[in-house]
């Protein structure tokens, strides 16, 4: 009537060590585990990206403003100087361009020659600087400024230097996001004169991009690099 269970055989599968210690997670189907692992990985990647974005936005600071002269034209007989200047902000903070001016290297300045800004308009309705300054160059952005100023040919020819010819330049004042101020002065074009001292043509006096957050005062003849992709287009007609 009663079965003797003392000698009853227990199936081997029920007595295995692995089966005795197996948890619910261990019994999770294998097809479900990759999905769980992928979800965890994506969550970790999202957290890492969020942390990197926060670091770059609020902790890491990169101040990088580049100044590239794109063209210089001098309509000698009409007395008009025209320049194009590109400001490229490769940093992650905004940059301020406070002032941009075309300039002439004046040998008549006392006690020593210096860059003299050209402030006379070529026309009452045309501003010397377009767009007007001060202006903000957004992080990762580019702004192009055009300069238009009056320069009498006789004034340019009277500023001939020992290096030969007269020199046009730029004066740029900038400020970074920390409030530091910088002044940049550099020759951009050489006006070549003939034996009678008249303007005949022009050639570049700059062949590089300049750092906008750097104090730099470069007198003629400018840099002596070879022409390259950052050499501006320079032109002047003959003075007759």
The pLDDT of residue 207 is 96
Task: Specify the pTM.
Answer: 0.75
Tell me the C-alpha distance between 211 and 144, whole Å: 16
The pLDDT of residue 23 is 55
> 3-state DSSP helix/strand/coil percent for the chain, to nearest 5?
15, 40, 45
The pLDDT of residue 140 is 93
pLDDT, one tens digit for every residue, the chain (240 residues): 445 555 555 555 444 445 555 555 555 555 555 555 777 777 778 887 877 676 555 666 889 999 999 999 999 999 999 999 999 999 999 999 999 999 999 988 778 899 999 999 999 999 999 999 999 999 999 999 999 999 999 999 998 887 779 999 999 999 999 999 999 999 999 999 998 999 999 999 999 999 999 999 998 999 989 999 999 999 999 998
Token look-up 């692995």 returns 18
The pLDDT of residue 35 is 53
Residue 103: name the closest of 167, 161, 196, 32 by CA.
167
**100-128: burial string, b at 16+ Cβ within 10 Å, e else:** bbbbbbbbeeeeebbbbbbeeebeeeeeb
The pLDDT of residue 135 is 97
The pLDDT of residue 44 is 77
């Amino acid at each position: 009537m009663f079965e003797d269970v003392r000698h009853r055989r227990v199936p081997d599968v029920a007595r295995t060590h692995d089966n005795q210690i197996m948890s619910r997670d261990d019994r999770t189907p294998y097809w479900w585990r990759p999905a769980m692992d992928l979800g965890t990985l994506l969550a970790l990647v999202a957290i890492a990206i969020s942390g990197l974005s926060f670091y770059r936005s609020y902790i890491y600071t990169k101040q990088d403003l580049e100044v590239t002269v794109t063209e210089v034209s001098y309509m000698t007989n009409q007395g008009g100087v025209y320049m194009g200047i590109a400001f490229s902000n490769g940093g992650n903070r905004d940059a301020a361009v406070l002032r941009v001016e075309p300039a002439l290297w004046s040998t008549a300045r006392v006690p020593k020659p210096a860059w003299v800004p050209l402030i006379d308009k070529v026309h009452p309705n045309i501003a010397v600087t377009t767009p007007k300054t001060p202006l903000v160059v957004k992080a990762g952005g580019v702004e192009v400024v055009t300069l238009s100023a009056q320069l009498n040919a006789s004034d340019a020819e009277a500023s001939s230097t020992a290096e030969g010819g007269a020199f046009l330049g730029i004066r740029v004042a900038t400020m970074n996001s920390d409030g530091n101020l910088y002044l940049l002065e550099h020759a951009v074009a050489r006006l070549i004169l003939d034996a009678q001292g008249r303007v005949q043509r022009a050639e570049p006096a700059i062949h590089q991009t300049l750092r906008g957050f750097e104090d730099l005062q470069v007198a003629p003849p400018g840099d002596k690099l070879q022409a390259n992709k950052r050499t501006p287009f320079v032109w002047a007609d003959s003075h007759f």
